[in-house]
Chain A
């Protein structure tokens, strides 16, 4: 893996997916009938149709972080998001991230803070928040 640039302002390569009804059903326990899997249940709840579970998109952010910072960065990561807009089957959701702070962790690695979010094809933020990611191995470049 190419060592990532550890510098505030850097944007991560996005991870983009088209959300299908099958994804929404698979994300829920088998046989589950709820607002994420069933249009009628969703409509009874005042929604126009079934919506994807918001935490489904945390997985997109985890994948984006893992691609950039490697498998070893997963343990120790803190992801904190707010769920903002509903996602419907057929929507395209793109995970994005931007480094906001870089700190040396005192043991040769770095701890990054990132602004992270997932946006839909209309540019609306589906989920948004922050990630703190440990990057192990070697001194941080551009540490603040």
Chain B
């Protein structure tokens, strides 16, 4: 979650109509954030490129979730699928802007799904990744009636 930028709204995730602009969030690819991610995932840091330190692209896989969480109540949701097209590797210290919109909603197996298309760009104007995040809008464990 981008530090200090959380502003959960009251509108529930499953109520969002297709076409809803999810707005945007921003975060810094800080040393602390990168270190935390590397430790969590046991990844080896990438080599430097042109004297620039690089952050693991797997950090970008959560951008759709952070965007949704920052803007809407996804407390009853779970992540069901993720597409990530990596175009550029983020640089440590850069600022990332994540924006997106709802592109599909469907029901399968009695569960409602919401699909968000997300773009992550850095402060140099580079598109880092395009993502498609699929979430179960309201998760109910089998047999559950939460």
A-side residues, CB < 8 A to B, are: 17, 23-24, 26-30, 32, 35, 44-47, 53-56, 58-60, 62-63, 71, 74-83, 129
Contact = CB atoms under 8 A, between A and B. Distances in A.
Query: Is the contact region of chain B dominated by helix, strand, or loop, or is it mixed?
Result: mixed
Nearest to B80: A83
Interface string B104-117: 00000000000000
B42 A17 contact: yes
A62 B65 contact: no
Interface residues of B, number: 37
27 contacts: A17-B42, A26-B36, A26-B39, A26-B40, A28-B1, A45-B146, A46-B144, A53-B62, A55-B82, A58-B58, A58-B82, A59-B41, A59-B56, A60-B41, A62-B43, A71-B47, A77-B57, A78-B84, A79-B61, A79-B82, A79-B83, A80-B81, A80-B82, A80-B132, A81-B82, A82-B81, A83-B81
Nearest to B58: A59
Q: Is the interface of A mostly helix, strand, loop or mixed?
A: mixed
B16 interface: no
Contact of A62 (B47, B58, B132): B58
Given A26-B39, A82-B81, A83-B80, A71 B56 contact: no
Interface of B: 1, 3, 36-37, 39-44, 46-47, 56-58, 61-62, 65, 76, 78-89, 132, 139-141, 144, 146
Nearest to B2: A29
A23 B41 contact: yes
